[in-house]
Structure 1
């Protein structure tokens, strides 16, 4: 089963929704967890259905902040366990393979003063280790200093608190392939920051159940966050990219020049990263 977890940074624009639909058609996941939708439940349900997902759970945004959605297709059975403005916790039954496991979509607080509240929630969820358990989402924290490039150093006590929480929950990081970073961009040098805020973690039962499972972080232009693409069956099914082709209709788009300029001006480490960013931006 393929699933995607993504902090979309708002779905209030029809243009953004159109790009989301294209992205989901491209990767064809059976389950999607979206964070920071920034719209109410009715609007989110409409967006979800337009993306081809008839089944879903929405948590409304509070004003212009937060908002979660878990959507899935009919070939899997999803049973709700609990939810809050920071998480959606479900049991997933893959009828084709006759396997059942637990999925938690998690959104950690971006505010330092609320970090402990986020970790307390995760610890509470982790008290039940009966099932294979996967947690993906935007944790809004890094585990180690090398997961951040640019800006001020993150305090060691914050990273240690995050690592300790995962250890107490018996969750291990699944690693990454592709673009692991989240952008924080601005006109000042200290705002051009890359951090690994989005990740997947799982307990031993889940890892042993899906020995061939794999996770990939993608680049996408509608959000500063990386979509997390996970395949439980075979990690090699989706890692290979589609052949890139320049579409003639792109030259009719008013945004083309801006996409090329922004991609090329990205403070990436190499020419290849700039080219990959340009390719990703042109395909959405």
Structure 2
């Protein structure tokens, strides 16, 4: 979880391991004063969010339903107890390990109506309403051939009516994935109101460029074709590499989007062995791209950052400043 937090830029977090399962729940955030932790257990993290955009405090809960069917009612009792401390604005996100209706499942054995009714009653008792979604209908899948394929919507968001009024432009999206059997869900409280911000960044050589076969040829071509001395060539090379990197990133992004679109289309079709086989091929290709990105982050992030960065903010910033100072070129000798 530390690596994921570093990639997202979260300075603070709490990680809780689930009892009797490899699963864990985690909450990460930026800034010390935006999140106030209320309570946590192996199956939930409850926090207050100090929202500067709305200038209000609302309640966010990450929830993990008990994976054991016989213990599922304990999860709903926990949700009811937490719901007694009711606030005006409350949203719950997570893997509930249960579906609301039988049509939210395809394949496998039928879900008992009593189980689904228990889940629906727990949500009603807490005043929680399904927030809907954008993207494919299922969030969990198992089985790569038609005879064993199972699809369910186990991950969801539910909220109180007042939370809907607070964030009317929200959007919850089922994201494309290639690693886990669960797909990530992304909640954007601003939705269409979110404005894109572009910041000018100074040139920095990125370690991931070394993974590109065309890097060496690009440097040789520019250096041989450019006039002027070494300082002029170095200045121009930085701009050229940045343009080359942007072009490479656009090509990769275009290819990734094509693969994700194709994956989404395949997931909407009734599964066959051929379709499930193509889904596996696309996921492998996406995995290769993700592996390359993982190498980049492992090269960029020092072991001490992973070890101490999340526990000691002062240490983290000192290391960053020292790296910046060491990376400066103060003079060039001819």
TM-score by length of 1: 0.68
SS at 1:208 equivalent = helix
Q: Which residue of 2 aligns with 1:49?
A: 6
- How far did residue 128 of structure 1 move? 2.0
- How far did residue 101 of structure 1 move? 0.2
Distance change in 2, residues 1:279/1:247 (3 Å):
farther
Contact 1:166–1:172 (Cα < 8 Å) also in 2: yes
SS at 1:146 equivalent = helix
Whole-Å Cα distance in 1 between the matches of residues 179 and 186 of structure 2? 16
Q: Which residue of 1 aligns with 2:252?
A: 247
Matches within 5 A, 1:264-279: 269=269, 278=282
SS at 1:247 equivalent = helix
Q: Which residue of 2 aligns with 1:173?
A: 130
Larger radius of gyration between Structure 1 and Structure 2: 2
Q: CA RMSD in A?
A: 3.8
Whole-Å Cα distance in 2 between the matches of residues 268 and 51 of structure 1? 30
Q: Does 1:109 align with 2:66?
A: yes
Q: Which residue of 1 aligns with 2:207?
A: none
Whole-Å Cα distance in 1 between the matches of residues 186 and 9 of structure 2? 18
Question: Structure 1: 5+ residue runs without aligned partners?
Answer: 1-43, 239-243, 251-258
Whole-Å Cα distance in 1 between the matches of residues 156 and 285 of structure 2? 22
SS at 1:194 equivalent = strand
Q: Does 1:71 align with 2:71?
A: no
Whole-Å Cα distance in 1 between the matches of residues 66 and 166 of structure 2? 30
Larger RCO (CA within 8 A; separation ≥ 6): 1
- How far did residue 74 of structure 1 move? 2.2
Q: Does 1:150 align with 2:84?
A: no
Q: Which residue of 1 aligns with 2:57?
A: 100
Contact 2:140–2:153 (Cα < 8 Å) also in 1: no
Q: Which residue of 2 aligns with 1:60?
A: 17
Aligned length: 227
Structure holding more strand per residue: 1
Distance change in 2, residues 1:183/1:192 (3 Å):
farther
Whole-Å Cα distance in 2 between the matches of residues 46 and 217 of structure 1? 22
Contact 1:76–1:94 (Cα < 8 Å) also in 2: no
Deviation string, structure 1 residues 226-268 (Cα, Å, up to 9, x no partner): 2111111224759xxxxx96539x9xxxxxxxx99xx69x775
- How far did residue 52 of structure 1 move? 1.7
Deviation string, structure 1 residues 132-163 (Cα, Å, up to 9, x no partner): 00000000000001101111111111111100
Whole-Å Cα distance in 1 between the matches of residues 83 and 285 of structure 2? 37
TM-score by length of 2: 0.59
Whole-Å Cα distance in 2 between the matches of residues 226 and 186 of structure 1? 15
Q: Which residue of 1 aligns with 2:233?
A: none
Whole-Å Cα distance in 2 between the matches of residues 93 and 237 of structure 1? 18
